[in-house]
Structure 1
Amino acid sequence: MRLVLVVNRFRAGEDPASLRADLERVHGLLADSPGYAGGSIGRNLDDPDLWVLTTRWDNVGAYRRALSSYELKLHGVPVLSRAIDEPGAYEVVEPGGVLNVAGARVT
């Protein structure tokens, strides 16, 4: 099993309470998805305008299938599309483990 860590960072802007509520809803939808292994919402200690949604998945396919669900498309994608534009999916590196090789993916 190759665990996947997904990190989405957000700027709260003028309405941090609204962003927090949106992230809590999206996190709940993701948590109900098969292959979800855990996650949390956080706020940066040095820059309180910076928020993060982290999730862990059994594999990349589980994460991608979660994103394709109707509820996530309807309620999650509008929130996730506001994330800072940067790569966000990471493989979990285990001591001595073999790392992923870049290449085409089929899930």
Structure 2
Amino acid sequence: MIAIARFEQALSQAVDFRAELESVKAVLSEAAGFISATVGQNLDEPTLWVLTTEWENVGSYRRALSSTRAKLEAIPVLARAIDEPGAYE
């Protein structure tokens, strides 16, 4: 299962935002069922960002998001994602 979260962030905040996404990636990587994650900045529109995560299954992904640490550290950042479907099989 792949989860994609896209973001739009001012270019002036790129360094700080990358650090925030890397922190989210670190939190999620500790969850059972986590396979991999990638943070990327769009080459053509540098205000666009993506966090792509891969999971063993959708249950693993949902359980990871419901952990206390994710609620405190990851969800506040993920809540700023562009509102669009992001879960893929």
Q: TM-score range by the shorter chain?
A: over 0.9
Give the percent of matched residue pairs that are identical in Structure 1 and Structure 2.
Answer: 52
Give the 3-state SS of the residue equivalent to 1:25 in structure 2.
helix
Counterparts in 2 of 1:1-107, with a 5 A limit?
4-13=1-10, 14-91=12-89
Could you list the per-position Cα deviations for residues 63-85 of structure 1 after superposition, in whole angstroms to 9, with x for gaps in the alignment?
00000000000011100000000
The residue type equivalent to 2:36 in the other structure is G
CA RMSD of aligned residues (A): 0.7
Give the greater-gyration-radius structure (CA). Answer: 1
Aligned residues: 88
Could you list the per-position Cα deviations for residues 3-25 of structure 1 after superposition, in whole angstroms to 9, with x for gaps in the alignment?
x0000001121411121111000
Give the 3-state SS of the residue equivalent to 1:15 in structure 2.
helix
Give the 3-state SS of the residue equivalent to 1:22 in structure 2.
helix
Structure 2 runs not aligned, ≥5 long: none
Give the 3-state SS of the residue equivalent to 1:55 in structure 2.
strand
TM-score by length of 2: 0.96
Structure 2: distance between partners of 1:80 and 1:60: 17
Structure 1: distance between partners of 2:75 and 2:29: 15
- Structure having the larger proportion of residues in helix: 2
TM-score by length of 1: 0.80
Structure 1: distance between partners of 2:55 and 2:2: 6
Structure 2: distance between partners of 1:75 and 1:37: 20
Structure 1 runs not aligned, ≥5 long: 92-107
The residue type equivalent to 1:82 in the other structure is R
